Amino acid sequence: MEDKILKYKYNGVEIRPSVEVYSDFYAYAAGITIREYFRDKVKCAEAWRAGRKKLTEYFGDLLPLSNISGPGLSYCHAVCLGSQIEYPENAEPNLKQMFSGIDEGIEILKAKKNVNYREQPIFKHYYELCNYLKEQFPDQNVNFSGMGAQGPITSAMLLRGQDFIYDVYDEPEKAKEFLTLLADSIISFFHFLNEVNGKPAISPVKFWLSDDFASLFSPLMWPEFVLPYWNQCFEGLTTGEHWVHCENLAPAHLEYLKPAKLSFYQPSVSDLLTPEIIKSKIDVRFDWLLYSFHISEMSDKQIQEWVDKTVEAGVTSIRTQFGQWVCGSGKLDRIKAFYKAFDKYRVE
């Protein structure tokens, strides 16, 4: 039986509230560690089963259940290049810096140009895990999923560390070569994932690029050190829409989003921006987030006021998030209050 989809409108335009559930919620619901959720296929299935049960019991039809998938990990591309990943017992996985110098980075990326992703241990793990989830949830149409990659700037910072900022100034041409090689590698990684799932190498629909560390570059540096590599990824991965998630941008960055020809922009945690600022700078669809660490401390009245202000600003995609901390601290009712704040806009 399909979840009932509630619909909302403001001034005749549909608005879409949504709630995202962090991975650590599922581990919490099953009483397992986050490490077990990521590394143990049996425990991962238990977490999905327990988490979905808890969500259904608490929210009913309010919160549509997300598709069952492998644990989302955007570091998998870097791991396939040789970077080491750590799985703390009860925290998100984290990546170790791989390259001690820009020359080493260029040399290794050239050597890894034709990496056999199918032979990488992390791919074999996810392949086995997703197949197990398919067996455990035969009615859910589980795909191969969970393996991800960061955008070129974030990948450069993760693999090279904060010294990449110095590389840009000290060795700009080498930094550009490094980013070009990284973008090529990201493209080949997603081509591989599409092949595994029986999809076209180049999507006719869209490609979603996540590149938060691009915000560390000043706006004036974007035409030289950000946009060429974003566009390289878009050209290699889609003939459709360009979607970007990039946190912590400043108003001055926004005009530099235009050359990327975006169809959708996700500012997420960006304290210097407001919906009004975004709409005054660029003509592109975007969503607006009520941060998990804010909603957990807000009253019903404050949540209602936030929702009303966001709706009146013309935002149509409005979201919030929660995970283990919100649930464990008895704040899950704040998520119900978020949904309740949209009652006045409900049309069916």
How confident is the model over 69-84, as pLDDT tens digits? Answer: 999 999 999 999 999 9
Q: Is the pLDDT of residue 60 over 80?
A: yes
Q: Please check whether residues 84 and 179 belong to one and the same domain.
A: yes
Q: Is the pLDDT of residue 304 over 80?
A: yes
What distance in Å separates the CA atoms of residue 90 and residue 88, rounded to the nearest whole number? 6
Average pLDDT rounded to a whole number, residues 100-118: 96
Strand order in the sheet with 206-210: 8-10, 13-21, 317-322, 285-290, 264-266, 241-245, 206-210
How many helices, marked H, and strands, marked E, lie in the chain? 16, 9
Token pair for residue 70?
A: 């492998």
**Residue that finishes a domain, picked among 201, 231, 262:** 201
With beta carbons less than 8 A apart as the criterion, state whether 233 and 207 touch. yes
Q: Is the pLDDT of residue 317 over 80?
A: yes
What is the percentage of the chain residues whose pLDDT exceeds 90?
A: 98
Q: Please check whether residues 72 and 55 belong to one and the same domain.
A: no
Q: Please check whether residues 307 and 253 belong to one and the same domain.
A: no
Question: Which are the contacts of 298, defined by CB distance < 8 A and separation ≥ 6?
Answer: 306, 334, 337
Q: Is the pLDDT of residue 4 over 80?
A: no
Please report, for the domain that includes residue 74, its CATH number.
Answer: 3.20.20.210
Q: Please check whether residues 164 and 189 belong to one and the same domain.
A: yes
Q: Please check whether residues 135 and 145 belong to one and the same domain.
A: yes
Q: Please check whether residues 79 and 179 belong to one and the same domain.
A: yes
Strands 264-266 and 241-245: parallel
Q: Please check whether residues 217 and 326 belong to one and the same domain.
A: no
Residue 68: the pLDDT is 97
Which of the four pLDDT bands, split at 50, 70 and 90, describes residue 129? very high
**Residue that finishes a domain, picked among 186, 201, 216:** 201
Q: Please check whether residues 82 and 174 belong to one and the same domain.
A: yes
Residue 2: the pLDDT is 45
Question: What mean pLDDT is reported for the chain?
Answer: 96
Q: Is the pLDDT of residue 180 over 70?
A: yes
Token pair for residue 233?
A: 């990824």
Token pair for residue 119?
A: 């032979």
Residue 6: the pLDDT is 80
Q: How many domains does the chain have?
A: 3
Q: Is the pLDDT of residue 3 over 60?
A: no
What is the percentage of the chain residues whose pLDDT exceeds 70?
A: 99
Average pLDDT rounded to a whole number, residues 91-97: 93
Q: Please check whether residues 56 and 71 belong to one and the same domain.
A: no
Which of the four pLDDT bands, split at 50, 70 and 90, describes residue 85? very high
Q: Please check whether residues 42 and 165 belong to one and the same domain.
A: no
Q: State the Rg of the chain over Cα.
A: 21
Q: Please check whether residues 77 and 14 belong to one and the same domain.
A: no
> Which residues constitute the domain of residue 87?
67-201
Average pLDDT rounded to a whole number, residues 6-18: 94
SS3 254: helix
With beta carbons less than 8 A apart as the criterion, state whether 154 and 213 touch. yes
pLDDT in tens, 207-219: 999 999 999 999 9
The closest of 316, 263, 321 to 289, measured between CA atoms, is 321
Average pLDDT rounded to a whole number, residues 244-262: 97
Please name the residue that has the structure tokens 């550009």.
176
The closest of 162, 151, 188 to 74, measured between CA atoms, is 151
**Residue that finishes a domain, picked among 201, 216, 235:** 201
Q: Is the pLDDT of residue 284 over 50?
A: yes
H or E segment and range at residue 276 = helix 275-281
Q: Please check whether residues 95 and 153 belong to one and the same domain.
A: yes
The closest of 64, 16, 18 to 345, measured between CA atoms, is 16
Q: Is the pLDDT of residue 331 over 70?
A: yes
Average pLDDT rounded to a whole number, residues 302-323: 97
